[in-house]
Amino acid sequence: MSTIAFIGLGNMGQPMCGNLLKAGHAVIGFDLVSGNCDRLAAAGGQAAASIADAVAGADIVISMVPTGKHVRAVYEGPDGVLQNARPGALLIDSSTIDVENSRAVSKAAEAAGFVMVDAPVSGAVPAAQAATLVFMVGGSREAFDRAAPVLQCMGSSLVHVGPAGCGQAMKICNNMMAGMSMVALSEVFTLAERLGLDYQTVHDVMTKASGNCWALQAYCPVPGPVPASPANRDYAAGFSMGLMLKDMRLSQSAAADAATSTPMAASAAALYQKAVDEGYAAKDFSFIFKLVSGRAGA
């Protein structure tokens, strides 16, 4: 069993730590919000006073923070991981961030003598709780093999997708698809209703037909057909509109860097931006159906 330092104990970090503890690892965590450190301690982990304190005795460091800026501060800051972790420690960043910052941190880690992978996840809080996350891992084969046993404690599927930064590239492409398909499906439900079809019928037929997709089958944006979907609890966030906007923006800046035209994703990103501008950042991203169907204020 290993000693694991976990940086970022928010919505995802907390249940991921729970599964590491369940698997018998010692977890010492740090978050800027002291209440999050207290929650880890209450769950059987140990709360650290700083990143330096958390990583000093750790075999493995995992980070789960919001953006590239946060990841760079966590690893490269004066009190950060690279200055304070034990030589030979394995570093795993599971945050969803841009490829450029991910590769820069990985390069700095390598220069400081560490082995690092980017390992962003698909699956929201329920998957983090159930240890069924999908990990998309970028890094060397050796780094992937070292990370696999600990990632298996938190996920049901691990894929080595390429060298450093490729985990983030894969995650950005996946979420670009999820973001676009939720908007597309919202248009379909809006039209279907106006043509006299009910939601359940649309769901029953399309899940068996060529229009099927994850958003329809598992995360339906209209109330009724999928009991676990946020549409049935007033769109309380599993995955927030704000985070989906962040990921759609990541897709758009990656597309610009790669000189790739993505007009559908651009149009979906503009809709998520509108939703956030109208005050819906904290709602689940499937609330985009309400905007598309013209019922956001209803």
Which residues are at the interface with ligand NAD (CB under 6 A)? 7-13, 30-33, 36, 64-66, 70, 73-74, 95-96, 121, 124-125, 238-239, 243
Q: Whole-number minimum distance, CB 12 to ligand NAD, in Å?
A: 3
* 16 or 143: CB nearest ligand NAD: 16
Q: Tell the residue number behind the tokens 């248009």, with chain if given.
A: 187
Q: How far is CA 240 from CA 47, 73, 170, 181, 244, in A?
A: 27, 23, 20, 16, 6
The CB-of-238 to ligand NAD minimum distance in angstroms stands at 6
Closest approach, Cβ 140 to ligand NAD, in A, equals: 23
Residue 225 or residue 238: which is nearer to ligand NAD going by CB?
238
Nearest CB to ligand NAD, comparing residues 18 and 238? 238
Nearer to ligand NAD, 29 or 192 (CB): 29
* CA 129/CA 131 separation, integer angstroms: 6
Q: How far is the CB of 223 from ligand NAD (least distance, A)?
A: 20
Does the annotation count 171 as an active-site position?
yes
Token look-up 């651009």 returns 266
The two tokens of residue 257 are 């860097």
Catalytic residue from among 22, 171, 246, 283: 171
Q: How far is the CB of 210 from ligand NAD (least distance, A)?
A: 28
Which residue sits closest to ligand NAD, CB atoms considered? 10
Integer angstrom CA distances of residue 274 from 53, 235, 251:
41, 17, 17
Nearer to ligand NAD, 98 or 202 (CB): 98
List active site positions.
Answer: 171
